[in-house]
Chain A
């Protein structure tokens, strides 16, 4: 009898555990179901739909009317000189912005990380521009780059007659690079600063004792230990700059000009989809090409960073 009572007790506890597990299964689904519903419709489905649409010619006036064209959109987009121009602009933009902002962010982070007065102030000040809207920043910079603007006034004080910046095909893209670096260098600095503060101080003390000078300490200790952060900063930079659009749109007043000098890849895709007739499928194909480029570049740089880390 005594044994029986024990058995019953065991059964009830396992029974309630099993019931709780059963309940959990349903609770789990209930917790995720509403979110998953929207996620499937507005995130997962559009990805597949986007790939699917790149194989069709879509009627601009009746979007539901489409015709299977296979890979024709891809051959069209890859043969379009405007797409080549847009990709070249994007690559140039990306290269200069990512390189300059990464180096600048590292330099600033190392400077803020010294025992100096006002380091919190500097961190906040550098971060601040990244919270404002890209459209607003572009408008403010249009005024800075204006003939009567701040930049050309500053140049005139040292006797240089500034160019017309955004109206000159040679300087329009560099002007947008400048405002992009101005916006994001501070954010990247915050990432570097967090990583710098995690480096144990005893490593530097040991190096100083061994007689390493500040440059050796930077290149032998700081830089190698920051490799994961550099990878992250470069990846974020590449993904962001490869999709630059808002600034180019506002600065060129929606034209991508002068002389297509500010036509970026996303800008091109936008124009194909919404400014040309019957080229929505071409736009979808352009987006797939850009996706492949971004994934490839990210993988290549992951490979480079990994081999460096092994060293």
Chain B
């Protein structure tokens, strides 16, 4: 049974349920205690020992049902050899006539396809599947290969040889027997194919998904296919959540060994001010204040969407987040994004300010005139844009104002650095007023950069 459980863990892991060795041991103990007799009981007990979150409970239930389902092998005996009557079906005590027996000799597989019950067939296939390591299947294209492997392990070669021999043989009934065996072989193929399909579903369904996600992590934000939008949102959310948990709890930081005399005295008033309990000085950790200024003109809009989605998924760790969008001019978009999901808010924003030739100078002017209050010495300003200002005045003087007020200014540019400064790009001039100016084109970049930003706040 150990192998069964091990395979079950593998199937669970394929569905993103994390199972550590310690949990595997728990599961074994649970099974020892519960036994395999009561299916629902086993399911509940294993679920409690293995699934550790709401999503995992869902995945677990699905996987359990799929994994412990073995009744699909159709029982051929009932429809084909009804006259055989009830008997315990083992390969040894079959109801083949002696002449048949003589023809096929001791080939187990031949006996099985002619006469085996569904459960015999299932068992034999299961055994072969274990030998062939079917649990390693990852891709749809491997299905043929694994089917073949199972059949080989079951002794297909012998069966084919036998059929060939019988066809050539002059003996009585040999040709008819060959026909029956060929029928059986067809059935066997079909069952094996079905079996592999189920196994594939069990062990590899998520593998394709994972591959796709890995690919998306590296894809340029602008080039992401609309049909992957949902998947991307999930990825971004997940990354943001990881960052959020990483930084969520560090609000205070105790300075080791520096006594807070005032609070120590106060705490120990009850003990005649004799310092039994010591209180140490603490520094409060400011939560980040972030101002995001996004270019939403055609070329950069896609990246802006993901940056905003990322930032708004971080609300647990960011104290205030204000967002601005611009192309020809600049508006505040925090309201829109707070009342709506980012996915729905973005199109509305683009409609409002997008589709105009970008004017960085004018937009910076709008910002410094109306919203400069949002920037103080605890604020990180993140500007996302390609810095292509259509040959208008870049107003670097305003950039300096922002630079001097903010804790730091970070410029994210979807264009690679070699393009900065070519054509109407004002990037080299803006760069002088940024603490960090980086090329940011994939979700991975985004994750890395935002992690860096948070680090500057939460550094111990």
Q: Do A and B share a complex?
A: no
